[in-house]
Amino acid sequence: MNKILVSLVAVLAGIGSVLPAMAQEVTGLAASPVIIAPPQTPLAETIKQGLSAAYNGARQDSAAYTEAQRLYFFYGARHFEPIWLSTAANGEVAFSESAQKILKLFERAESEGLRPSDYLTPDLDPAAAKGDPLKLAALETAFSGAALRYATHIYTGRIIPSSVDANLDIQPKKLDDAALLVQLATSPDPVKVLAALEPTHPEFLALKAALATFDDSKTDRPAQIATGPSLKPGMSDPRVPALRARLKLEPVDGLVYDDAIVEAMKAFQATQSLDVDGVMGPATLTALNGGVPVTKSDIIANMERWRWMPRDLGQFNVFVNIPEFRLAINRDGAEEYTTRVVVGTTKNQTPVFSDNIRHVVVNPYWNVPSSIIKGEIAPAVLRDPGYTDSHNMDLLYNGEPVSPWQVNWNMVSNSNFPFRVRQRPGPGNSLGQIKFLFPNKHDVYLHDTPSKSLFSRSGRAFSHGCVRVENPMEFAGALMANEANISRASLEAMFGPNEKWVNPDKQIPVHIAYFTLRPNADGTLQSYGDIYGHNAKLIAAMGLSKPAIAPEIIAEVNTIVDDLSP
């Protein structure tokens, strides 16, 4: 009994504080006047004894003590009466009507991308507890644990993001466990209470619908075009007839990659955010063949990532999807503007997190991160002491420029290296003419770039972690659509040698996200490459399938997940 109660306390410790409406209905129990009502039945007395033992047995400065106290107060305010068990006229104890409805929901957990076995555990057996007050008390608390576990999983996900990868800088949303338990036990429709916790974003709902109809053995994919060399105008290839059929062109004699195919290919590439060059290269061939094959595990993993996202993305927001190499501005759920982006390399990954754009900086300085000073600039200066001058850079000591010729650059690996490097505004500045700031611990932001050629690549993972925007001034104009005194024209009028900061009246939510599946308008799923391996590692952490990643990575992930998963 004690062990089960302590386990429930541990579950509660990992959850903390339901939706704003619930938070308003039930205030913090520990902050309210504490009223412990005496138990009035033998079963209630048993529950009190077990909770009291967990409460008094925990160290007073520990999270376990705080959560045991909250649970003790919660049941104490109810005379320690159970909320999931009911007693019939003949004395038989069984699950209440609310509990039975929730049990049916547990049975259907697969439709949510969850596992019924996580909730329908062996200790939820009323028959095994019949006539034994101690076991009945344990049954009561075990059901509370299962209900809270399900609620947590459906609201904020099964897996803690940072346990999969440190670059997933997402804080799990919090539930008010006491308020939720009261609502579930007293609501005539507890299923509706739990259903209200799942994400409401249309993309999540489309993934859930796709999961309901998915059949691994009948993946809907077009007739496959065979692999081979890239095809350019005028080339001959035996794949041309199949390609004409795939592009719905009239059949003709011959194997020439003619003008009709080129134009049809350009139209197809435009719909897929590919290079519109009419050439059938590897990326275009993959898209023609339906993209990377979609599995049920992929759908469930992407549903999980939607549970990690903020419940409200903002009425007007910026959404960057790393695997898609694309940025979008959304208003009221509709895409208002989009452009290509360059993201971090696999070595210097762009982190996944949400924040708010607070500043726009025109003619920005580039304050070079210490990792780049150490890994790139110092070696370059050691080869050529004039490197910083030739790249329009200042070496700063206590904010003042000093000569790079007077510095021992071999000291750069020393943690006490006292110098900073800053690149001045100008045509060659790595941030281009404008950057969009949302101050964060990763020192990551959106910005212009002088390296425009990279946007023509299908795969665009080339930066040190920041997000480079292909059409930054178009983006700036769209971003400032709600600002009366800021426009693209007013920002362009500031171009020059001096850095200038502009502060919008309204902060704009920005979400740096990682989705390898996104629904199209017709309900089909568009797949994108798992460039950082986050999808494969999440699939492994969720126990969905064996991923194609190194065993040592899997072992590390599984160890962390075992320790941190709620």
Q: What is the pLDDT of residue 333?
A: 92
Please tell me the distance from the alpha carbon of residue 334 to that of residue 541, in angstroms, as a whole number.
33
Helix axes 534-541, 551-564, angle to 10 degrees: 60
Q: What is the pLDDT of residue 91?
A: 67
Q: What is the pLDDT of residue 25?
A: 37
In a domain, 113, yes or no: yes
- The CATH number assigned to the domain holding 304 equals 2.40.440.10
Q: What is the pLDDT of residue 552?
A: 37
- Write out residues in the chain with pLDDT < 70, as ranges: 1-34, 63-64, 67, 89, 91, 131, 216-221, 273, 291-292, 413-416, 546-566
pLDDT tens digits, 87-145: 776 767 788 899 999 999 999 999 999 999 999 999 888 877 776 777 777 888 889 88
pLDDT tens digits, 366-405: 888 877 888 888 888 888 878 888 888 888 888 788 887 7
- The CATH number assigned to the domain holding 234 equals 1.10.101.10
In a domain, 103, yes or no: yes
Q: What is the pLDDT of residue 218?
A: 53
Q: What is the pLDDT of residue 291?
A: 67
In a domain, 146, yes or no: yes
> Are residue 333 and residue 394 in the same domain, yes or no?
no
Domain C-terminal end among 149, 181, 198: 198
In a domain, 206, yes or no: no
Q: What is the pLDDT of residue 335?
A: 95
Q: What is the pLDDT of residue 392?
A: 85
Angle in degrees, CA 72, 76, 82, rounded to 5: 95
Domain C-terminal end among 142, 163, 198: 198
Structural domain boundaries enclosing 469:
296-365+430-527
- pTM, 2 dp: 0.78
Q: Are 512 and 289 in contact (CB under 8 A)?
A: no
In a domain, 171, yes or no: yes
In a domain, 548, yes or no: no
Would you call 173 helix, strand, or coil by DSSP?
A: coil
Q: Quote the number of domains for the chain.
A: 4
In a domain, 339, yes or no: yes
Q: Give the residue among 372, 396, 342, 352 at the shortest CA–CA distance from 171.
A: 352
**Amino acid making up residue 286:** T
Find where tokens 């304050």 sit.
367
Which residues are catalytic, by number? Answer: 447, 466
Q: What is the pLDDT of residue 224?
A: 81
> Are residue 377 and residue 434 in the same domain, yes or no?
no
In a domain, 472, yes or no: yes
Element holding 510 (H helix, E strand)? strand 508-513
Please tell me the distance from the alpha carbon of residue 140 to that of residue 48, in angstroms, as a whole number.
12
Q: What is the pLDDT of residue 221?
A: 66
> Are residue 355 and residue 379 in the same domain, yes or no?
no
Please tell me the distance from the alpha carbon of residue 283 to that of residue 277, in angstroms, as a whole number.
12
> Are residue 194 and residue 120 in the same domain, yes or no?
yes
> Are residue 122 and residue 234 in the same domain, yes or no?
no
**Amino acid making up residue 504:** P
Q: What is the pLDDT of residue 216?
A: 60
> Are residue 375 and residue 493 in the same domain, yes or no?
no
Burial 19-38 (b: 16+ CB within 10 A, else e): beebeeebeebeeeeeeeee
Q: What is the pLDDT of residue 557?
A: 35
> Are residue 284 and residue 325 in the same domain, yes or no?
no
Please tell me the distance from the alpha carbon of residue 444 to that of residue 454, in angstroms, as a whole number.
19
Q: What is the pLDDT of residue 67?
A: 63
> Are residue 315 and residue 268 in the same domain, yes or no?
no
> Are residue 443 and residue 310 in the same domain, yes or no?
yes
Cα four-point dihedral sign 457, 527, 519, 510: negative
Contacts made by residues 310-315, CB under 8 angstroms, sequence distance 24+: 310/173, 310/354, 310/509, 310/511, 311/19, 311/173, 311/199, 311/200, 313/201, 313/509, 313/511, 314/508, 314/509
Point out which residues pair with 344 in neighbouring strands: 463
> Are residue 306 and residue 350 in the same domain, yes or no?
yes
> Are residue 236 and residue 361 in the same domain, yes or no?
no
Neighbours of 384 (CB within 10 A): 10
> Are residue 57 and residue 135 in the same domain, yes or no?
yes
